[in-house]
Amino acid sequence: MPENVLNPLDDPTADPFAVAAEAAADIARLTGVDHHDIALTLGSGWGKAAELIGETIATIPATEVTGFSKPALEGHVGTLRSVRTPGGKNVLVIGARTHYYEGHGVRRTVHSVRTAAATGAKIMVLTNGAGGIKTSWKPGQPVLISDHINLTMDSPIEGANFVDLTDLYSARLRAVARTVDSSLDDGVYVQFRGPHYETPAEVQMAKIIGGHICGMSTALEAIAARQSGMEILGFSLITNLAAGIQDTPLSHQEVIEAGREAEPVISDLLARVIGEL
């Protein structure tokens, strides 16, 4: 979409599910793939998985699809891909996450998830790079998300719609992931607003309230995915220990490097898990 055209999601009278349906029609037209079975959002460090999942049928710029925003950050790829697994499933790979901290509102933050549901996807795989609170974790380690705490205090759900979030991160799908790697640990993901990292005191708060992973995405997306009836699998790459857990300051450069180093291993893991879904 040209830059001077308003994003339809910025019109408060627009129905976000109608915009997602339009986006899904764009994807079908541009990829030639009429439906997808699984959707996968690639966070920092997970990008190489797209090539390993199967045969790429089409790659399209996200900006060609209704309601998508330009990626804000280096290391975040602004493309959507349709990939066919050896088992014959169509996977929509979303390389263009819109973060809540970009300030475009929660509708734009979860638009890719609603679009994935509108393409037919029944499983949403959400991946991210994040800070670890458990001292047993090492940078470069992938972990499963077992639950979340949403500290944005926002919600993608509009109106009096009391969506149940029990087993939000599917125990069934976590068990499938562990058939591929039985050593996978799990933890509770805490979504902070960002874009600043936490203070050490905030990390201690997250720990005391039951959190193990600090991040800036995923929780709002998972809620929207559940509202759309999808089953959710969440993976965090621990790129750094959270502030105060590690004794050196956090840097975005360090996060990118940890991601780059871990990428071949975790991408292979992710591709094998997707083959089992």
By the criterion CB under 6 A, which residues form the site for ligand 8IG?
Answer: 44, 129-131, 192, 194, 197-198, 214-216, 239-240, 242, 250, 255
51 is known as an active-site residue: no
Nearest approach in angstroms of CB 254 to ligand 8IG is 9
Nearest approach in angstroms of CB 91 to ligand 8IG is 24
For ligand 8IG, the closer CB: 75 or 275: 75
User: Exposed, middle or buried: residue 4 (CB in 10 Å: 0-12, 13-18, 19+)?
Assistant: exposed
Query: Rounded distance, CA 108 to CA 98, Å?
Result: 7
Nearest approach in angstroms of CB 191 to ligand 8IG is 8
For ligand 8IG, the closer CB: 66 or 240: 240
Strand partners for 124: 39, 232
Query: Rounded distance, CA 98 to CA 111, Å?
Result: 8
Q: Per the structure block, which two tokens stand in for 54? A: 């199967």
Helix (H, G, I), strand (E, B) or coil at 118: helix
Write down the catalytic residue from 102, 198, 257, 276: 198
Query: Rounded distance, CA 94 to CA 225, Å?
Result: 14
For ligand 8IG, the closer CB: 90 or 128: 128
> By Cβ distance, which residue is nearest to ligand 8IG?
131
Nearest to 186 by CA among 194, 198, 177: 177
Catalytically active residues, by annotation: 198
